[in-house]
Amino acid sequence: MATADEIRELMRTEGAAVAENTQGFNAGRYDSVADLKDYEELKQAARSIKEDAIEELPDLLDQLTETVEANGGTVYIADDAADANDYIRNVVDERAADRVVKSKSMTSEEIEVNDALEADGVDVVETDLGEWVLQVADEAPSHIVAPAIHKSRESIAELFNERFDPEEPLETAEELTRFARKKLGEQIIDAEVGITGANFITADTGTMALVTSEGNARKTVAATDTHVAVAGVEKVIPTVGDLHPFIELIGRSGTGQDITSYVSLLTPPVDTPVVDFTDDETPLSAFESDRDFHLVLIDNGRLEMRDDDHLRETLYCIRCSACSNSCANFQSVGGHAFGGETYSGGIATGWEAGIEGLDVAEEFNDLCTGCTRCVNACPVGIDIPWINTVVRDRINRDKDAPGEWLVDGLTPDEEDDGAPLQKRFFGNFETVAKLGSATAPVSNWLAGTTLSRRAMDQILGIDPRRDLPTFERETLVDWAASRDSQVAEPERRAVLYPDLYTNHVQVERGKAAVKVLESLGVDVVVPPAPSSGRAPLSQGMIATATDHAERVTETLGPHIEGGRDVVVIEPSDHAMFTREYERLIDEAAFTDIAENSYEVFEYVFGLLDNGASIDSLTTVEGAEIAYHSHCQQRTLGLEAHTVAVLEDCGYDVVTSDVECCGMAGSFGYKSDYYELSMDVGDRLRTQLRDDGVQDRPVVASGTSCLEQIDALLERQPRHPIELLAT
């Protein structure tokens, strides 16, 4: 696991370049997919092609092998990296090749074929300019599509000037590119073997699609007589026609380009003649097209992933990098922290767990906070946060249980073994909150002492620089029980779910919600209810989260049956009910709670839309406000409802567009991640301090976001529902 020191160092040395590039790609993605009128349909088509292909994989591999052999090529299915490398070394040896040129391929990084060939004395040259920079610098990729994303132009110029000592020092991107093109161009035409990856391979014709921009993959194939394509077995799809959605989606989803310069559709061996580039007499067409083609398909754990109900989705990944670019933490640290042996970003947890093992996934898995911003960005709809949660659960279970004396009483969870103390503390936050309210204000005084903060830091890894929540003595449930409903003839009846924070800490927003709903004609009850399970789920404690989910549905079920809607203030809990519970409880129970639950502003919007009068609420005339929505709320498409209601109430609203505030539940409290959390938060701070925004009061929907903004700004933020109450 990356330590606070390692993360700090990476943010210092690589953070600026990573942030600029990933945010550029991410903004480009939003723009580019917005131009695509059938974006959602294309994503669904892509998803379903991949689902079917993985389902039919053994048959497709048989069909592909037959087709490629009929075309005159050879197929080798390698069990693992060593097997693949032995085969490739043999091909290179039989060709008696001195030089192998390569175009960019993550799968070839996975098997480390360069090392294997170099050990045989072969000169291996990366021709993708980013990969070449890293080869010269002897560094690892920090991004699956743009491998040298962590390097600035200045650092590349410095590297080249030092290593190659050109007559005129290189400075601009144009000069650096020209220099690399010339140097690599000479090496490409002099090579015997070309190694490429493959983004997709079609079983019907044996056609491989290569998605590139520089033209180096085209040259790598055209200028050599022996082509070795290295790809994971999961890259096979049925037909050439199936390529269509992927061609439209891959560039847009990744770097935000509508399409990359070249999509090569190669059915090797290709017809292009093999020429001697020093020949001054023979016309091009007089050369023979005498080519060898080897397709090396790599298992290396993938077929076991196919049999794993939770890791299988990883195999749908088309390596576009959308999950990296849309990830707030990745934007700050890049793939050198948020990555394993080969792969980086959110989906890397699935790849590294399946290919390398849990120990490698553990090194970076905590950097996924479950914010879900990658979910809608993924062109094949992979539930990347769920894969991270499952792997975290497995990592927890791999560990020895912490001493019972430490957790006794504080952790009434369902975890038989495993989860480390810090995770169990945050996962059982409900117990802490109950105790905190019951003993407030003493609990707050005690928690704030230097001595307890030091103990929390040492035992639980809670960063002393974070303010702790202040527990209220009277919970929302207690308050609601002490008063009668204010609505005589209700239009609707609702149960306001007392989420952990609203019930124990931010009780005022709960009271405001009750008052707003009542003034719109809703009869509201606030019964005691278990916490949603969000806290244990985020720590990878799935059994405990499932227990919460079952108890929540048992508690709310009778209310729903009695005709009440479920209204939820905390967006992360609403997302549990409408998204995550699908994984935890049976289908009927999930449908019941998901269909009857509403985020509080979604509910208010619906009430107003159905005739409730805005005049029952506090309205203003053009007052300016800044609104930060919540990551999981945005993924569910529910930011717009809050904005619309605030505008209806007369507010002039500007919204932030950062992917996450950086707090993400317990993440920002952890000593190892506090500084990263603040670095992510800094992007939100910048937006909230922009011209025209800096004097606006701030409202935010999520508990974590409110805490983070409170730490970032002088202005104290509030939940927007508090603006509406009369």
Of the candidates 176, 327, 545, 661, which one interacts with other proteins according to CB under 8 A?
A: 176
Based on the shown chain and the rule CB under 8 A, indicate whether residue 496 belongs to the binding site for other proteins. no
Instruction: Give the span between the Cα atoms of 73 and 710, in whole angstroms.
Output: 63
Based on the shown chain and the rule CB under 8 A, indicate whether residue 505 belongs to the binding site for other proteins. no
Based on the shown chain and the rule CB under 8 A, indicate whether residue 49 belongs to the binding site for other proteins. no
Based on the shown chain and the rule CB under 8 A, indicate whether residue 66 belongs to the binding site for other proteins. no
Residues numbered 658 to 687 that lie near other proteins (CB under 8 A) are none
Beta bridge partners of 5: none
> Which segment (145-153, 402-410, 453-461, 666-674) binds other proteins by CB under 8 A?
145-153
**DSSP code, position 269:** S
> Which segment (273-281, 298-306, 410-418, 506-514) binds other proteins by CB under 8 A?
273-281
Of the candidates 244, 434, 583, 715, which one interacts with other proteins according to CB under 8 A?
A: 244
> Which segment (172-180, 330-338, 563-571, 652-660) binds other proteins by CB under 8 A?
172-180
* Shortest Cβ 601–other proteins spacing (Å): 38
* Shortest Cβ 375–other proteins spacing (Å): 25
* Shortest Cβ 263–other proteins spacing (Å): 4
With respect to other proteins, which residue has the nearer C-beta, 214 or 672?
214
Of the candidates 22, 127, 531, 704, which one interacts with other proteins according to CB under 8 A?
A: 127
Residues numbered 177 to 236 that lie near other proteins (CB under 8 A) are 177, 180-181, 184-185, 188-189, 204-205, 207, 213-216, 218-219, 222
> Which segment (46-54, 259-267, 380-388, 410-418) binds other proteins by CB under 8 A?
259-267
What are the CA-CA distances from residue 409 to residues 396, 424, 425, 715 (Å)? 20, 11, 11, 38
Based on the shown chain and the rule CB under 8 A, indicate whether residue 146 belongs to the binding site for other proteins. yes
Instruction: Give the span between the Cα atoms of 154 and 159, in whole angstroms.
Output: 9
* Shortest Cβ 154–other proteins spacing (Å): 8
DSSP 142-197: SSSSSTTTT--HHHHHHHHHHHH--SS---SHHHHHHHHHHHHHHHHTT-SEEEE-
Instruction: Give the span between the Cα atoms of 59 and 242, in whole angstroms.
Output: 17
**DSSP code, position 262:** E
At 647, phi and psi to the nearest 5? -65, -40
Of the candidates 15, 73, 130, 345, which one interacts with other proteins according to CB under 8 A?
A: 130
**Cis (ω within 30 of 0) for the bond into 379?**
no
Instruction: Give the span between the Cα atoms of 316 and 529, in whole angstroms.
Output: 38
Based on the shown chain and the rule CB under 8 A, indicate whether residue 169 belongs to the binding site for other proteins. no
* Torsion of the alpha carbons at 583, 587, 589 and 593, rounded to the nearest 10: 70
Residues constituting the chain: 726
> Which segment (242-250, 305-313, 328-336, 511-519) binds other proteins by CB under 8 A?
242-250
Instruction: Give the span between the Cα atoms of 300 and 50, in whole angstroms.
Output: 19
* Shortest Cβ 648–other proteins spacing (Å): 37
What are the CA-CA distances from residue 227 to residues 193, 294, 589 (Å)? 6, 6, 54
With respect to other proteins, which residue has the nearer C-beta, 161 or 205?
205
> Which segment (47-55, 84-92, 124-132, 664-672) binds other proteins by CB under 8 A?
124-132
With respect to other proteins, which residue has the nearer C-beta, 162 or 279?
279
Of the candidates 255, 324, 519, 546, which one interacts with other proteins according to CB under 8 A?
A: 255
CA proximity to 137, closest of 173, 180, 95 = 180
Based on the shown chain and the rule CB under 8 A, indicate whether residue 243 belongs to the binding site for other proteins. yes
Of the candidates 11, 124, 156, 608, which one interacts with other proteins according to CB under 8 A?
A: 156
Mention every residue, 6+ apart, whose C-beta is less than 8 A from residue 203.
60, 61, 63, 64, 67, 236, 237, 238, 239
* Shortest Cβ 348–other proteins spacing (Å): 21
> Which segment (82-90, 147-155, 487-495, 672-680) binds other proteins by CB under 8 A?
147-155
With respect to other proteins, which residue has the nearer C-beta, 331 or 671?
331
With respect to other proteins, which residue has the nearer C-beta, 172 or 610?
172
Instruction: Give the span between the Cα atoms of 626 and 698, in whole angstroms.
Output: 5
* Shortest Cβ 293–other proteins spacing (Å): 11
Token digits for 325? 């670019």
For 597-661, where are the alpha helices, taking DSSP H only? 600-609, 631-635, 639-648
Total of chain residues touching other proteins, rule CB under 8 A = 70
Based on the shown chain and the rule CB under 8 A, indicate whether residue 693 belongs to the binding site for other proteins. no
Based on the shown chain and the rule CB under 8 A, indicate whether residue 268 belongs to the binding site for other proteins. yes
Based on the shown chain and the rule CB under 8 A, indicate whether residue 248 belongs to the binding site for other proteins. yes
Instruction: Give the span between the Cα atoms of 415 and 321, in whole angstroms.
Output: 34
CB-based burial, 53-77: b 16+ in 10 Å, e otherwise: bbeebeebbebbbebbeeeebebbb
Based on the shown chain and the rule CB under 8 A, indicate whether residue 265 belongs to the binding site for other proteins. yes
Of the candidates 23, 63, 187, 260, which one interacts with other proteins according to CB under 8 A?
A: 260
Of the candidates 69, 258, 554, 695, which one interacts with other proteins according to CB under 8 A?
A: 258
Contact 389, 540 (CB under 8 A): yes
Instruction: Give the span between the Cα atoms of 105 and 4, in whole angstroms.
Output: 31
Contact 541, 423 (CB under 8 A): yes
Of the candidates 23, 152, 187, 376, which one interacts with other proteins according to CB under 8 A?
A: 152
Phi and psi based region of residue 294 (left: phi greater than 0; alpha: psi -120 to 50; beta: remaining): beta
Report which residue type is found at 659.
E
* Shortest Cβ 273–other proteins spacing (Å): 5
Instruction: Give the span between the Cα atoms of 557 and 578, in whole angstroms.
Output: 14
For the window 85-114, what string marks contact with other proteins as x by the rule CB under 8 A?
A: ------------------------------
With respect to other proteins, which residue has the nearer C-beta, 64 or 78?
64
Residue 77's SS3 state is: strand
For the window 275-304, what string marks contact with other proteins as x by the rule CB under 8 A?
A: xxxxxxxxxxx-x-x---------------
CA proximity to 526, closest of 563, 553, 559 = 559
What percent helix, strand, coil does the chain show, rounded to 5? 50, 10, 35
Based on the shown chain and the rule CB under 8 A, indicate whether residue 168 belongs to the binding site for other proteins. no
With respect to other proteins, which residue has the nearer C-beta, 268 or 461?
268
* Shortest Cβ 249–other proteins spacing (Å): 11
Based on the shown chain and the rule CB under 8 A, indicate whether residue 566 belongs to the binding site for other proteins. no
The residues binding other proteins (CB under 8 A) are: 71, 127-130, 133, 146, 148, 151-154, 156, 172-174, 176-177, 180-181, 184-185, 188-189, 204-205, 207, 213-216, 218-219, 222, 239-241, 243-244, 247-248, 255, 258-268, 270-273, 275-285, 287, 289
